[in-house]
Amino acid sequence: MSSVVTRFAPSPTGFLHAGNYRTAVFAYLFAKHHGGSFILRIEDTDRARSKPEYEANILDALAWLDLPFERQYRQSDNAPRHRELLEQLIADNLAYVSKETPKNQGDREEVIRFRNPGEAVSFVDMIRGEITMDTRDLGDFVIARSLDEPIFHFAVVVDDADEGVTHVVRGEDHISNTPRQILIQRALGFATPAYAHLPLILGTDRTKLSKRKGAKAITEYRALGLLPEATLNYLSLLGWNPGDDREYLSRSELIESFDLARVQKGSAIFDETKFFSINQHWMRKLSDERFLACLDFVNPESREGFTKSYNPTKLTAAIPLLKERAQTFGEARDMLAGELSCLFTKPTLDAGLLTAKEPTDRPGMTQEALKALLGPLEALPASASVELVKDTIMPFADAEEAKGKGGRGAVLWPLRYALSGRERSPDPFTLVSILDKDETIRRLRLALAILEK
């Protein structure tokens, strides 16, 4: 199997989605598992719809996913070879120019048809086992619109043979195409590659993903702040499993474990919730240095300067919070601009929210609690751990809890709000630890000044 050659053969007629790149991932992993080669062929013969920007996006996505290919081809470059073999089939009376009666205005008056021997064609699919199809109903099918315009069935057969492709990994919607292509291979004297037809990928509504309906381009997920290693991990699990309960697999683990025999026959479900959960796992494994780099590199257009606008010490201290809560780097950036903005800018306080947890029969309790905390907090070292801060504050909160009115919330809420100015923020122990003692005291005195008005 060291001579295995697989290919990814996308058409640059639109932005490709996860289902398309799942095919690339499986073809790549299979080739690498067997020490073989993975090649890229841009199938650009649809001249009207093929666009340079779509091709650039394909190359960009493969580079981001780190799916390197040993060789690259462009189908349009093979036009002379396609014409040569079409002429050969016609000369051998295995194909012919057919005069057509146009059904619609603009339809061809001549096409090239393959002389179908009308026989049963069998092949062994690496996922589904033996498949047999009767080709008589196909008739003499079209293989080219003209000598210079081969259609998919013909061009793909020639290209796969000339490029040494040994294993064709593609979607199950191509199963019906395979008998036609095998007949063409036989007529040209080409070997038949092994076929593996992957199950379709459906959305959570169990409808098929498509370029035009409900499927994001894979680079859109990069723009949302997902990691390439997480994307590779998730795509590999769409219809395949490693044979055990692992769901987080590195590239090397995927290559070592990958086996087409473990690809399921039923449709896979593309679930963003699961995808983002896997991404969060890989985010949490990053070093602080790479985490900060990824905050800048959410997408190529906004890769510079984001982290430079934040205090580097506090930003690094906030990384555990971001790893705990954010599932993408886009979410992490939103958190820094939202609920965690209090770590970097002085909050604006509202007296009503500051006293929101104060018992009605204990007016002034909020002010009393904040004043009582000043001394113990001033006694902390300049930078204190979350545990030390908690051990310092909780005795006061527990004492209020024992009184039964207001409870711990009457102490912890005004402290947290005084430090953050937000109804949703990290706990007060974490805030004190990240803000440091001096900034904590300044914010508490600001809150007390508001209460004294």
DSSP string, 299-327: SGGG-SSTGGGS-HHHHHHHHHHHHHH-S
pLDDT of 320 > 60? The answer is: yes
Helix (H, G, I), strand (E, B) or coil at 429: helix
Task: Please tell me the predicted confidence (pLDDT) of residue 305.
Answer: 66
Place of tokens 């599932």: 327
Q: Which of 263, 227, 268 is nearest to 248 (CA)?
A: 227
Place of tokens 């909050």: 347
Dmax (CA) of the chain: 102
pLDDT band for position 301 (cuts 50, 70, 90):
low
Q: Which of 270, 279, 262, 265 is nearest to 33 (CA)?
A: 262
pLDDT of 203 > 90? The answer is: no
Listed in sequence order, the residues at least 6 apart from 385 whose beta carbon sits closer than 8 Å to its beta carbon are: 433
pLDDT band for position 211 (cuts 50, 70, 90):
low
Task: Please tell me the predicted confidence (pLDDT) of residue 71.
Answer: 97
Count of CB atoms situated within 10 Å of the CB of 382: 7
- Mean pLDDT for 128-137 is 96
Count of CB atoms situated within 10 Å of the CB of 265: 13
pLDDT band for position 341 (cuts 50, 70, 90):
very high
Q: Are 282 and 250 in contact (CB under 8 A)?
A: no
Task: Please tell me the predicted confidence (pLDDT) of residue 302.
Answer: 52
pLDDT of 27 > 70? The answer is: yes
pLDDT of 144 > 90? The answer is: yes
Task: Please tell me the predicted confidence (pLDDT) of residue 402.
Answer: 78
pLDDT band for position 434 (cuts 50, 70, 90):
very high
Instruction: Calculate what percentage of the chain has a pLDDT beyond 70.
Output: 96
Task: Please tell me the predicted confidence (pLDDT) of residue 168.
Answer: 98
- Mean pLDDT for 161-188 is 97
Q: Which of 407, 436, 406, 405 is nearest to 419 (CA)?
A: 436
pLDDT band for position 2 (cuts 50, 70, 90):
low
- Mean pLDDT for 306-320 is 91
pLDDT band for position 207 (cuts 50, 70, 90):
confident
Listed in sequence order, the residues at least 6 apart from 238 whose beta carbon sits closer than 8 Å to its beta carbon are: 18, 22, 201, 268, 270
CA distance 225 to 62: 17
Q: Which of 400, 353, 352 is nearest to 373 (CA)?
A: 400
Which segments of 206-283 are extended strands (E)? 268-269
pLDDT of 158 > 60? The answer is: yes
Q: Which CATH number fits domain 351-451: 3.40.50.1970, 1.20.1530.20, 1.10.10.350, 3.30.70.270?
A: 1.10.10.350
Where exactly are the structural domains of the chain? 286-337, 351-451
Q: Which of 453, 452, 440, 409 is nearest to 347 (CA)?
A: 440
Task: Please tell me the predicted confidence (pLDDT) of residue 227.
Answer: 96
Instruction: Report the mean per-residue pLDDT for the chain.
Output: 92
pLDDT of 210 > 70? The answer is: no
pTM comes to 0.90
Task: Please tell me the predicted confidence (pLDDT) of residue 296.
Answer: 84
Q: Specify the range with the lowest mean pLDDT, choosing from 129-138, 228-237, 335-344, 356-365.
A: 356-365
pLDDT band for position 312 (cuts 50, 70, 90):
very high
- Mean pLDDT for 166-172 is 97
* CB contact burial 201-230 (16+ within 10 A = b; e otherwise): bbbeeeeebebeeebebbbebbbbbbbbbb
Task: Please tell me the predicted confidence (pLDDT) of residue 356.
Answer: 92
